Structure 1
Amino acid sequence: MNINIIAAGKIREKYISLGIDEFMKRLAPYSPVKVVEVDSESKILGRIKGNPYVIVLEISGKSMSSEEFAEKLREISLSGVNEVVFIIGGAEGLPQEVKNAANLLLS
């Protein structure tokens, strides 16, 4: 299963950059991970190809423990999905159309 992270704008916040680095380090043994930065939220949906499982990181999304999140990824993998896309919005949040494209809103 491939994992792509799409970020709106340049990732400037150190805590986000460190979180992505940690996420990539933990997943690298199991799955290829790629980070794509787009210059505006309006270009996010254009970067999604095929039929991936889309997870939007959203403050009002569902909270999960690490164990619940690991189980969710396992379920996605077992369902036959070959790609998971994580979307990170900018400071202003994400357009509703991006949120509507999500399979999961995750806090």
Structure 2
Amino acid sequence: MSPLIDICPLAELPPGSKRLVEHEDLEIGVVNCAGQIFAIEDRCSHDDGELVDGELDETDCSIECPRHGSKFDLRTGKPMNLPAYVPVDTFPVVVEDGVIRVEVD
């Protein structure tokens, strides 16, 4: 099993909120989309822009790159429109004892 890193208590990441986490050489955006927690690489595959600064759409659980507008599905990391066409990494999330934890490899 890959290591789990503690992010924060679930109560500190209410629906609609985002948090940037750095772990070794990874930058991970942790997002509460309408009560579901997702973790996605904080790097647009089009031009390396920071996704966590982008607009969250809780209707389709996506985040939009603020630089050129590519939207990424938080569940899969797949881009939903151009100019990005390469998916970004996603990370498994668990909530244990009220704490959000992300599995990194």
Q: Shorter-chain TM-score category?
A: under 0.3
Higher fraction of helix? 1
Structure of higher RCO (CA pairs closer than 8 Å, 6+ residues apart): 1
TM-score normalised by structure 2 residue count: 0.25
Higher fraction of strand? 2
TM-score normalised by structure 1 residue count: 0.25
